[in-house]
């Protein structure tokens, strides 16, 4: 249940960064932020900051490098939340 909440919350965070031709319905757990959702790589930095704020966690540079897909982000959030 919590996982589904994270997922919905994450979709909400990603939504404003989507280009005009991609909608929130195009997001799936496997979506690659840059290659599939066409998110500007500069904006990935902002998504990370929004994730930190929303989930009250801190992401390190390594975490950011690993965060390529939506499910990568979910796994990192889950790990950080459970170690809190």
Partner 1 sequence: MGHRVVITGLGICAPNGVGLPDFTKSLKEGLTGISFHQELKDLNFGCQVAGKPQLTSEYINRYFTSLQLRGLNASGLVYGVIAGTDAWTDAGLSKAEEDEPDWDSGIIFGTGILGVDKFRESIHLVDEGNTKRLGSTSVIQTMASGISAYLGGILGSGNQVTTNSSACTTGTEGVIMAYDRIRSGKAKRILTGSCSDSGPYVWGGFDAMRILPRNNNNNPATASKPLSASASGFVPGSGAGALVLESLESAMQRGAKIYAEVLGGAVNSGGQRGGGSMTAPNSLSVQRCIKMALENSGIESKDIEAVNGHLTATGKDPVEVLNWSLALKRSGADFPYLNSFKGIMGHGLAAAGSMECVAAVLQFKEGQIFGNPNIEDLHPEIEKLVHKSRIPAKTINFRPETIAKASFGFGDVNACVIFKTFKD
Binding stretches for partner 1 (CB under 8 A): 16-17, 42-43, 45-46, 49
Question: Rounded to an integer, what distance in angstroms lies between the CA atom of residue 69 and that of residue 14?
Answer: 11
How many residues does the structure list for the chain? 84
Give the shortest CB-49-to-partner 1 separation in angstroms: 6
> C-beta of 30: minimal distance to partner 1 in Å?
24
Let me know the angle formed at the C-alpha of 20 by 33 and 28, rounded to the nearest 5 degrees: 35
CB of 64 to partner 1, least distance (A): 9
Comparison of 34 and 45: residue with beta carbon closer to partner 1: 45
Q: Which of 22, 71 has the CB closer to partner 1?
A: 22
Q: What's the CA gap between 69 and 35, in Å, rounded? A: 9
Compute the distance between CA of residue 25 and CA of residue 75 in angstroms, rounded to an integer: 21
Q: Kindly tell me which of 43 and 68 has the beta carbon lying closer to partner 1.
A: 43
């Amino acid at each position: 249940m919590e996982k589904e909440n994270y997922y919905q919350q994450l979709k909400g965070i990603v939504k404003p960064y989507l280009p005009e031709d991609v909608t929130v319905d195009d997001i799936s757990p496997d979506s690659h932020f840059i290659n599939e959702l066409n998110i500007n790589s500069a904006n990935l930095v902002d998504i990370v900051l929004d994730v930190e704020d929303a989930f009250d966690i801190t992401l390190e540079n390594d975490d950011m490098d690993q965060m390529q897909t939506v499910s990568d982000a979910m796994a990192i959030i889950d790990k950080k939340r459970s170690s809190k």
